[in-house]
Amino acid sequence: MTGIDPDVRSVEPGETPRGGTPLTNGFGSSGWGARSRPRGMRRTGCFFRLYALPDPVRVPDNASAEDVHRAAHGAALASGNIVGLYQR
């Protein structure tokens, strides 16, 4: 997802944040996804990389997650990771 308006404070499940453009994720589809939890593991995590950018980063419509990371990394004012743990 690129272009999220910096004033967005929350997003409803399944919604695209204001200004956001969904792109192809690392699983090859739009949106986000998670791998199935390995057998025997009680918890697993989803990893999100966030960038604070001074201006929108231009990437093609068919950009991969790695394309976006490369474009954003060079222009980022700051970056960080969020890890969400879940279990079934």
Provide the residue ranges of all domains of the chain, joining segments of one domain with +: 44-86
Other C-beta atoms closer than 10 Å to the C-beta of 30 total: 12
List all residues 6 or more positions away from 30 whose beta carbon is below 8 Å from its beta carbon: 22, 23, 24
DSSP conformational letter for 88:
-
Other C-beta atoms closer than 10 Å to the C-beta of 70 total: 13
Structure tokens at 8: 């967005």
User: What is the structure's pLDDT at 63?
Assistant: 81
pLDDT higher for 56 or 86?
56
Separation between Cα atoms, residue 23 and residue 2, nearest integer Å = 8
State pTM to two decimals. 0.66
- The per-residue pLDDT for range 36-72, each reduced to its tens digit, is 666 676 777 778 888 988 988 888 878 877 888 899 9
Separation between Cα atoms, residue 14 and residue 2, nearest integer Å = 16
What percent of the chain stands above pLDDT 70?
84
